[in-house]
Amino acid sequence: MSPTDYPPELSKQEEVYLLSNLKDWSIAHGLAVRPAPSFVQPSQDPSGVLASTAPVTLFPSLFPRSCFDEGLSIQNAYNELYSAIARDESWLKSIVEELVHVDDFVAKLWQTHLEVKKEGYVQDLSLGLFRSDYMVHQDPSQSNSSPGLKQVEFNTIASSFGGLSSQVSALHKYLLTIDAYPNSTSSIIKHEALRQSQSASSLAKGLAAAHKAYGASRTKRPLCVLFVVQDPERNVFDQRHLEYALLEESGVRAFRLPFGETLSHTQLDTDRTLVYTPPNSPSKSYEVTTIYFRAGYSPDDYSKDEDWHARVQLEKSRAIKCPSVLTQLAGCKKVQQVLATPHSPHLKRFLPDEKVASRVLKTFAPIYPLDNSEAGEEAKKLATDASSATKYVLKPQREGGGNNIYRKAIPPFLQKLPETHWPAYILMEMIEPPPLTNAILRNGELQRGGVICELGVYGVCLWRNGNGDNQKGEILENWEAGYLLRTKGDQSEEGGVAAGFGAVDSLCLVDE
Amino acid sequence: MSPTDYPPELSKQEEVYLLSNLKDWSIAHGLAVRPAPSFVQPSQDPSGVLASTAPVTLFPSLFPRSCFDEGLSIQNAYNELYSAIARDESWLKSIVEELVHVDDFVAKLWQTHLEVKKEGYVQDLSLGLFRSDYMVHQDPSQSNSSPGLKQVEFNTIASSFGGLSSQVSALHKYLLTIDAYPNSTSSIIKHEALRQSQSASSLAKGLAAAHKAYGASRTKRPLCVLFVVQDPERNVFDQRHLEYALLEESGVRAFRLPFGETLSHTQLDTDRTLVYTPPNSPSKSYEVTTIYFRAGYSPDDYSKDEDWHARVQLEKSRAIKCPSVLTQLAGCKKVQQVLATPHSPHLKRFLPDEKVASRVLKTFAPIYPLDNSEAGEEAKKLATDASSATKYVLKPQREGGGNNIYRKAIPPFLQKLPETHWPAYILMEMIEPPPLTNAILRNGELQRGGVICELGVYGVCLWRNGNGDNQKGEILENWEAGYLLRTKGDQSEEGGVAAGFGAVDSLCLVDE
């Protein structure tokens, strides 16, 4: 079988065998989500005991080995880069100042930082559980060129699917072991071509490292990690796998706190320690070492004023934030854009080693601002012209995805938007992934067709900000933490599985 | 807290905390079942991707330490006893002859044996994955007496819940670790009082031992174990956990074969080797070393003549049967009855060591035949008298449960049944368990109240039958293989969780 025929069509019996084994294995190993309301109405299962196989691909998707290796090996540099950005308040300020008038959410985050700064930060350590997302780019006009890795975005908050990713790579390995993949694929799907993602365990080790670095309790309370979450959360098992790994491998307790209930169950104590009182046992409270945000990344999470007070309280606290508000701001698209704008001077500010910087630079797709700079004026021409716009995607500066404008939809979109609001967006050259096929099981429905794959590489970084007068910032821990492959039908142009369009996947390496 | 107040009433917040953690942990760890049709209609989920938390207790149930220890330590003797019975064809014949005219299923099983015997058995090894079920008995008229363990039944085929039992004991341990049990229980629920059941791994090791003992392939095919199953099977994850442990810990491949499709996918080859051809890959067939029956234990599994042909084919084959038809017959209630009939001479036939035999004997509740023997005539008087009948349960000789007649329902039931059919039943003194309370989560509904617990102790036994002329039978492997606690509301008088009445549980040991 040649890669262009991959994956094979399955006979009815092959499909029955593969699917029945996939469905049982996934539930037996927690590769699951709570069912969508469109699949199971909440009234049918008010207590929430039902779960469904998470959206998954039937086959591991083909991925160039050189691109995968490069993605993993460059992650430490990315960790270094973003921790350096998060430590550079004055630089971040210059970026944010260009956004505050057009992006209310960025403005609010910056205000949160200023409010904390006024009182002084009491915690000098920061944790990042990052995920750098890439697509394989192969210039369609040069079919002989070797494929390269191009960054889609860099996530500094709530990088998801680290829990499920470990499970889906184990699933595909299992399906290979039990011969669920037809014989014809044996030259392609081999054990040595599959990669087990250690993301669940490795990210949990990051939380454990922060927990340990926090030191002893100042209030003589037991210590804990706090997962600040959305409620309800369909993707809860993804988060739970991290929590279980943290408990089993490092003996660290964690609690889940819905973001909207923060002020009811936490308070600041001596030396701004953060105290969490579990609602189930009001007499026993915990000192929080580390706040792991799986909420708070989107304006939707701040529906009432109280939610901003909650964020300020958490930021003010002595707990290590994963991430801090400055680290969250470092993840905004504007940062990615100024780094990736051709001839940008910024990258070397943060990555002084030229060799490292040039490797990182190679993973950038050209990104332009939509402002009055020289690059901005060029971008406006590209974006408003119906023919050139087809090579681009327009992205809002803020985190979270789900609002991108693609190709020919860009000119009419901009036409309706006052030009003063254009700087809230960046223009990015479309990455052109090589054509791939796969089959996705989602809500019990099987769909087969052209797909687009996005590689996420996780990174753990723990650093000292050095906000004190004589203290320099320094990185204490820095490691690559496994990978995620997310795959979506190529008719959809959105990325997130949680947003309802894709599936978790694992990779099958091919040599170009 | 005293054991009589156990478990405590939970506050609303305590219940929310315990249940949300229980529901997430159970799905993340495959402590799950496919939902009942009354909960999720098949038309809603035709491809079967939904699963639900298995019916479980919220708390581990209290259990006397001495009874648990005795149950575990006596299991090797029980394995020895039942393997000796299965090897003693002439003795079994005398038992079966009393049943063939009243129990068609037993007659058919015996006929299967005779049919195979005519051609000669080619496989001398037999595997038993047994489960001996007990209740704690405390004479209600003597409240100071120490509790004892009394056997409910001994399962020689399809002993279920070994997969889920490992998970539920881990669940209760997890709930303790995360303080989901209120402080008031701390003197009772302690880590040293909980027992992790190793049943999934230990039973899988039994299958691996048989697989290995089978030896090399005679047909140059790859070897496999065959799980012969019902279809559909809601309790599939229980079985899958054994299959996954078998693959991961011993590297042994297993396939699931719906019993009704046996003749389509298996055939006898050279030396009566059993060859299995997976429908998904007709060109690749396997030689079966071991047949693990999770079907075929009930008349319902034999709806057409072909099903009996299938059973004969499997029995004739060279594969090691778990269990063989004779081992299955050794598990009929009649055998339990003749062993437990007061002053029975049979036990010492199989357990010559008097000390061992007397320990086993102590776990028998008095059981009577309903035939024309002296004990039988006495039993008929007890069973037809409305007042004495309240101390008894009437059980059909055949396996599977679900058809027991209790206490005052016995006399009217017998009245309607021709006396010639009475020998199809045995009369057993009711075991009187001490009153216990627990809460059960089942299909999303929480029920709290009085419960009855049944302890199952698993046993693995691999033996040589010695059917050849000069070969003596001998036991090759014999070990206790973990435990199960099954708990049901005490208003129901049936036992099986699968039958729709109970929950899986784990035990919290208490010293009397």
Are residues B397 and B351 part of one domain? no
Are residues B290 and B142 part of one domain? yes
Q: What is the pLDDT of residues A89-109, one digit of tens each?
A: 999 999 999 888 878 999 999
Q: Give the confidence band of A398 by pLDDT, cuts at 50, 70, 90.
A: low
CB contact under 8 A, B278 and A17: yes
HEC string for A83-146: HHHHHCHHHHHHHHHCCCCCCHHHHHHHHHHHHHHHHCCCCCEEEEEEEEEEEEECCCCCCCCC
Among the partner residues B24, B50, B240, nearest to A28 by beta-carbon distance: B240
pLDDT at A500 over 60: no
A333 is catalytic: yes
Among B430, B455, B473, identify where a domain stops. Answer: B430
B118 is catalytic: no
The domain tally of chain B equals 2
Q: What is the CATH number for B380?
A: 3.30.1490.50
Compute the radius of gyration of chain A from its Cα atoms. 23
Q: What is the pLDDT of residues B113-131, one digit of tens each?
A: 999 999 999 999 999 999 9
Among the partner residues B17, B30, B46, nearest to A28 by beta-carbon distance: B30
Any known ligand binding at A131? yes
Cα separation of B27 and A50, whole Å? 9
Are residues B443 and B384 part of one domain? no
pLDDT at A493 over 80: no
Q: Please check whether residue A415 lies inside any domain of the structure.
A: yes
Cα maximum dimension of chain A: 69
* Smallest Cα distance from B203 to chain A, Å: 17
Q: Which residues of B touch A446 (CB under 8 A)?
A: 47
Instruction: Mean pLDDT check: name the lowest of A194-198, A286-290, B95-99, B454-458.
Output: B95-99
Instruction: Mean pLDDT check: name the lowest of A14-28, A190-204, B139-153.
Output: B139-153
Question: What percentage of chain B reaches a pLDDT higher than 90?
Answer: 84
Are residues A371 and A229 part of one domain? no
Are residues B88 and B110 part of one domain? yes
Q: Give the confidence band of B471 by pLDDT, cuts at 50, 70, 90.
A: low
Are residues B457 and B424 part of one domain? no
Mean pLDDT value of segment B361-381: 92
* Smallest Cα distance from A186 to chain B, Å: 14
User: Mutate which of A39, A50, A240 to test chain B, going by most B C-beta atoms within 10 A?
Assistant: A50
Q: How many Cβ atoms sit within 10 Å of the Cβ of residue A221?
A: 17
CB contacts < 8 A, A to B, total: 134
Q: What is the pLDDT of residues B389-421, one digit of tens each?
A: 999 999 887 655 568 899 999 999 999 999 998
Mean pLDDT value of segment B490-503: 54
Q: Which residues of B are annotated as a binding site for Mg(2+)?
A: 153, 155, 399
Instruction: Mean pLDDT check: name the lowest of A2-6, B405-409, B416-420, B466-470.
Output: B466-470
Mean pLDDT value of segment A309-323: 98
Mean pLDDT value of segment B37-47: 93
pLDDT score of B398: 64
Q: Please check whether residue B36 lies inside any domain of the structure.
A: no
A155 is catalytic: yes
Q: Please check whether residue A43 lies inside any domain of the structure.
A: no
Are residues B249 and B234 part of one domain? yes
Among candidate residues B162, B399, B438, B459, the one labeled active-site is B399
pLDDT score of A2: 82
Q: Give the confidence band of A396 by pLDDT, cuts at 50, 70, 90.
A: confident
CB contact under 8 A, B50 and A40: yes
User: Mutate which of A12, A17, A24, A175 to test chain B, going by most B C-beta atoms within 10 A?
Assistant: A24
Are residues A231 and A163 part of one domain? yes
pLDDT at B7 over 80: yes
Q: Do A63 and A453 meet the contact criterion of CB atoms below 8 Å apart?
A: yes
Mean pLDDT value of segment B272-293: 97
Q: How many Cβ atoms sit within 10 Å of the Cβ of residue B381?
A: 10
Q: Which of B262, B293, B282, B279 is nearest to B399 (CA)?
A: B293
Q: Do B150 and B453 meet the contact criterion of CB atoms below 8 Å apart?
A: no
Instruction: Mean pLDDT check: name the lowest of A196-205, A305-314, B197-206, B484-493.
Output: B484-493
pLDDT score of B98: 84
pLDDT score of A495: 38
Among the partner residues B25, B46, B237, nearest to A28 by beta-carbon distance: B237
Q: Which residues of A touch B29 (CB under 8 A)?
A: 30
Q: Please check whether residue A6 lies inside any domain of the structure.
A: no
* Smallest Cα distance from B347 to chain A, Å: 42
Instruction: Please name the residue of chain B whose CA is at the shortest distance from the CA of residue A167.
Output: B28
pLDDT at B491 over 90: no
Q: Give the confidence band of A402 by pLDDT, cuts at 50, 70, 90.
A: low
pLDDT score of B512: 78
A400 is catalytic: yes
CB contact under 8 A, B28 and A30: yes
Q: Give the confidence band of B498 by pLDDT, cuts at 50, 70, 90.
A: very low
Among B430, B453, B469, identify where a domain stops. Answer: B430
A131 is catalytic: yes
pLDDT at B467 over 70: no
* Smallest Cα distance from B184 to chain A, Å: 11
Q: Mean pLDDT score of chain B, rounded to an integer? A: 93
Are residues B358 and B448 part of one domain? yes
Q: Please check whether residue B115 lies inside any domain of the structure.
A: yes
Q: Please check whether residue A2 lies inside any domain of the structure.
A: no
Among B430, B449, B474, identify where a domain stops. Answer: B430
Among candidate residues B80, B153, B287, B315, the one labeled active-site is B153
* Smallest Cα distance from B429 to chain A, Å: 39
Are residues B258 and B320 part of one domain? yes
Give B126-137 as a DSSP string: EEEEEEEEEEEE
Q: Which residues of B are annotated as a binding site for substrate?
A: 131, 157-160, 233-235, 239, 294-297, 486, 497-498
Q: Please check whether residue A189 lies inside any domain of the structure.
A: yes
Q: What is the pLDDT of residues A230-254, one digit of tens each?
A: 999 999 999 999 999 999 999 999 9
Q: By residue range, what is the domain housing residue B166?
A: 12-31+52-365+431-510
Are residues B389 and B271 part of one domain? no
CA A46 to chain centre: 31
CB contact under 8 A, A237 and B28: yes
Among the partner residues B30, B53, B281, nearest to A30 by beta-carbon distance: B30
Q: How many Cβ atoms sit within 10 Å of the Cβ of residue B374?
A: 10
Q: Which residues of A touch B277 (CB under 8 A)?
A: none
Mean pLDDT value of segment A198-202: 98
Q: Please check whether residue B6 lies inside any domain of the structure.
A: no
Q: What is the pLDDT of residues B218-252, one digit of tens each?
A: 999 999 999 999 999 999 999 999 999 999 999 99
Are residues A172 and A219 part of one domain? yes
Cα separation of A276 and A260, whole Å? 14
Q: What is the pLDDT of residues B350-360, one digit of tens each?
A: 999 999 999 99
CA A12 to chain centre: 37
